[in-house]
Chains A and B, each alone.
Chain A
Amino acid sequence: MSRVHVTTTVNGDETEFLCDPRETLLDCLRDRLNLTGAKEGCGTGDCGACSVTLDGRLVCSCLVLGVEAEGREIGTIEGVAQGDELHPLQRKFIEHAALQCGICTPGILVAAKALLEKSPDPTEEEVRYWLAGNLCRCTGYDKIIRAVMDTAAEMREAV
């Protein structure tokens, strides 16, 4: 099958890649652009391990085609820290030990960041339901929820 040329912006950098028109954005990120932070947990939009943002909107990259990235802005876990400086969410996840095997962590951080951008002062209920699309089989979620609440509080203080 002939490949399609895609020009897009990933984490602020303009990027190009060639892909099969049937290829998912997740596979393009992982296999074409070597951005392996997003993971495939299910491939059907049910686990959130592949979460990225597309023009600021939280999506499952396993449900988006690579070609749909044309001209759009993609945000992945690799762009969450600024160089060596971790995002407050990343710091709080470490501080609260909100991860175990860590494979859900990139997706959860991308999702949580999208939440805090939309809703800087979420209730715990809101956090729990927002993250209900991101499965974590290890932690039982408690430390994750606490880490997100704590980050939100810290970020509100900082502004």
Chain B
Amino acid sequence: MSTDKTVTAPVDTELRSDPPVTDRLMRADQDRSGIKGAVHTDLHHDSAIKHVTGRAEYCDDIAEPAGTLHAYLGLSTRAHARIRDLDLEAVRSAPGVVGVLTAKDIPGVNDVSPTGLNDEPVLADGKVEFWGQPIFAVIAETRDAARRAAKRASVSYEDLPHVLEPDAAREADMPYVTPPLTLKRGEAVSAMENAAHRIKGRMRVGGQDHLYLEGHIAFAIPGEDEDVIVHSSTQHPSEAQHMVAHVLGVPSNAVTVNVRRMGGGFGGKETQMNLFCAVAAVAAKKWNRAVKIRPDRDDDMSATGKRHDFVIDYEVGFDDTGRIQAVTGEFAARCGFSADLSGPVTDRALFHADNAYYYPDVLLNSHPMKTNTVSNTAFRGFGGPQGVIAAERIMEEIAYHRGVDSLEIRKRNFYGEDGRDVTPYHQTVEDNIAPRIVSELEQSADYQARRQAVLDWNAKGGIVRKGIALTPVKFGISFTATWYNQAGALLHIYSDGSIHLNHGGTEMGQGLNTKVAQVVADELQVDIDKIKITKTTTEKVPNTSATAASSGSDLNGMAARDAAIQIKDRLTAFAAERWQTEAAKVRFVANAVQIGDETVPFADFIREAYMARVQLSAAGFYKTPKIHWDRATGKGRPFYYFAYGAACSEVSVDTLTGEYRVERTDILHDVGRSLNPVIDKGQVEGAFIQGMGWLTTEELWWDDKGQLRTHAPSTYKIPLASDRPRVFNVALADWSENREQTIKRSKAVGEPPFMLGISVFEALSHAVASVADYSVCPRLDAPATPERVLMAIERLKG
């Protein structure tokens, strides 16, 4: 769910906070109470009643105007080929078909690359570069007619050589889709040579499909002149707007993109929706009718990007105690045929290859490889998890080598004081709470006793083996593309005292609208039900960033608060004048304003302000302070702060079949001072399970021709209710408070807990290791499907 686009980024632009905005936002929180929906309280999702009654409107539920047409994509059936001939006659003549669109019918530029590299056509033109690439769109009276017609195309191809795997791509000298990154501190090569012990290893880490339950969808309604309105389920309405304009060849002001809510996003709807928005808009303008496009699940999974798979080669040097002296790592990623967000994703993998550990001398390189597969994209964690798992594998390697519990090795390598606090990208870790989180979890999960019980159980030598692991996470918060760290909000108070709030973030289930409304309720001291949050639309807040990088409430909460404070300042000045008192005697109390001794109900007060011609509307703005990043030198402070957490998981593995189950998981996670603890806990639980799925059952499998064979929930297995750990204890670190001046001292929550799933992976590895009496670190790739677990066991049994 994260984004940090780079490529041609202006670098090293230290953001200087504009003093008035900062001043307003940095004001100390006043003592507040007595309203419904204040910050730091549990409050259910603002759409919850609509969700449970089936009345929440998703894009596909919007009533269709009469004459709405439906588009469907025709996809390639080759991984890499020239298109010799594209015969669409049978498609055109199919029942209900209105017309077809090919590359030639794109009025503007045939490109939806979010980086400006012009490497991602809407519809393939002359050649295809992955199996499942859109070649044409058919437009028909019904979706069913369009879908059937799309199958009637006849395409003749001239096959070209294709490469699927990132390591094969490196060997074949395939190009990078985007410039690679190097992070370097100290002299890793000579430090490695001088290290007491050295281990080299390779790990393959699989990708992941988002499997948002609501697939891609866009619904375009043509307007007069060049105008078009697109309803969509995108995490990035501004980019969709700009891309539609680019493809139509019209200015951005002709295009409006609206998002009420998404049925899940997870990063998969950040850039990947652009194509659908563009096709719907082009067709809508061409036929001057509303056009909807919604691929079925198989096409959604074949034609849209996923989490990047990585092949990671690492080497670690360490002393007798297991303390790291040097680390080198080569991170090759399957980026697919175009850059999309692969630059910042592979950057973020390097940014997290240290996880919570200090590497005295370090050298890390990314290899964003071009492959003939769908272009991989953002997915919760945005490359970070692939970095973190490498760090955790390194800890395991050292632990088996030294014959010490891996938790002990982790502790010995944590960031600390006195020179052990600088990351491979030269940012100082100032807020390290990993040691405290880990030691509290070690206690509350009863780790030591349970680990002993696991060892005792395995010592009996039975068929079912157990494993346990406790792994931490440290995750950097901010878009690494510094300019994305800005947000806007629009706040109106109507003369009856009701409030309308709009911000640039999108709601995908994470409760963002609820949190932002809490912030405004708190600032104005009104009950939250007085505040209405409406759909995100490019008409109200322009040039927004993607709702990604876990940044939604950090950025939009601050922008909304800024708007509220502006109005409040005007109201305070008005009250002081009207009641002839000082501004200091004007206080916003629960649903009222107190002016000296008099208390005026909020609605009455607003009415008076309106009559006195006070402006009751404001546009708020926020940009994250302190951050800067120079990609060329690999130095800076890309992250405003870090979020932390830890998980302890215990598993049972059947050594005859490789099947396993998670017996228990305990989590302690840091969200700073939570804006809404129940929503944040939900994020932690959901992220953990999703992270567990990534590393266990979710397997993307391409055949040798390059066709993805796991392209629906029938073959691609995400965790089910039956897979939830038998015992599942989740807690927030309630003592934590963000040391930076974030919104109400909270921390971002969307992505960091995803990596807690690594505890399950390492627990499986522990159980596997027991068959060889823990003498070697098992070679286990991710996802650790039962088959892979079984193969790892068989290898160890020799």
Contact = CB atoms under 8 A, between A and B. Distances in A.
A145 B725 CA distance: 12
A155 B392 CA distance: 46
A102 B509 contact: yes
A28 interface: no
Contact of A97 (B45, B296, B712): B45
Contact of B266 (A89, A94, A137): A137
Given A43-B296, A76-B54, A100-B682, A140 B722 contact: no
A43 B54 contact: no
B702 interface: no
Interface string B21-38: 000000000000000000
A104 B214 CA distance: 9
B712 A46 contact: yes
Contact of A43 (B50, B56, B297, B510): B297
Interface string B50-63: 11111111101101
A158 interface: no
Interface string A74-101: 0011101100001001100111010111
B94 interface: no
Given A131-B721, A140-B689, A104 B213 contact: yes
Contacts of A90: 52-53
B557 interface: no
Interface in A99-141: 99-106, 109, 127-129, 131-132, 134-141
A10 interface: no
A101 B722 contact: no
Given A46-B713, A101-B214, A103-B213, A135 B54 contact: no
Contacts of A104: 213
B53 A78 contact: yes
Contacts of B58: 39, 103
A106 B55 CA distance: 9
Contacts of A105: 51-52, 54
A106 B51 CA distance: 7
B720 A102 contact: no
Interface in A1-36: 20, 22-23, 30, 34-36
A37 B55 contact: yes
B263 A39 contact: yes
Contacts of A139: 682, 685-686, 689
B382 interface: no
Given A135-B718, A141-B721, A41 B214 contact: yes
B262 interface: yes
Interface string A141-159: 1111100000000000000
A109 B49 CA distance: 13
Nearest to A106: B54
A94 B48 contact: yes
A127 B510 CA distance: 25
A154 to B, nearest CB: 16
Interface string B669-690: 0000000001101110111111
A29 B264 CA distance: 23
Interface string B346-362: 00000000000000000
Interface residues of B, number: 58
Interface string A44-62: 1011010000000000000
A101 B52 contact: no
Contacts of B721: 127-129, 131-132, 134, 136, 141, 144-145
Nearest to A79: B54
Given A139-B682, A140-B686, A142-B685, A128 B713 contact: no
Contacts of B714: 42, 44, 46
A38 B55 CA distance: 10
B626 interface: no
Nearest to A102: B51
Chain A: number of interface residues, binned into ranges: 35 or more
B518 to A, nearest CB: 14
A127 B726 CA distance: 12
A138 B686 contact: yes
Given A47-B713, A80-B53, A101-B213, A140 B679 contact: no
A49 to B, nearest CB: 6
A39 B297 CA distance: 13
Given A42-B297, A138-B686, A100 B511 contact: yes
Contact of A86 (B52, B261, B296, B510): B52
B574 interface: no
Nearest to B685: A140
A78 B213 contact: no
Contacts of A99: 45, 48, 51-52, 509
Contacts of A46: 712-714
B594 interface: no
Contacts of A93: 48, 51-52
Contact of A102 (B50, B296, B687, B719): B50
Contacts of B689: 139-141
Given A39-B214, A41-B214, A143 B682 contact: yes
Interface string B719-739: 111101000101000000000
A60 to B, nearest CB: 12
Given A135-B718, A139-B682, A101 B508 contact: yes
Contacts of A40: 60
Interface in B283-341: 296-297
Interface of A: 20, 22-23, 30, 34-44, 46-47, 49, 76-78, 80-81, 86, 89-90, 93-95, 97, 99-106, 109, 127-129, 131-132, 134-145
Given A86-B49, A145-B724, 6 more contacts: A43-B296, A46-B713, A93-B48, A100-B682, A101-B261, A128-B722
Pick the 7 closest A-B CB pairs, nearest first. Answer: A37-B54, A101-B509, A102-B51, A103-B263, A100-B509, A140-B689, A77-B54
11 contacts: A41-B215, A42-B714, A43-B297, A46-B712, A94-B48, A101-B263, A131-B721, A137-B211, A137-B266, A140-B724, A142-B728
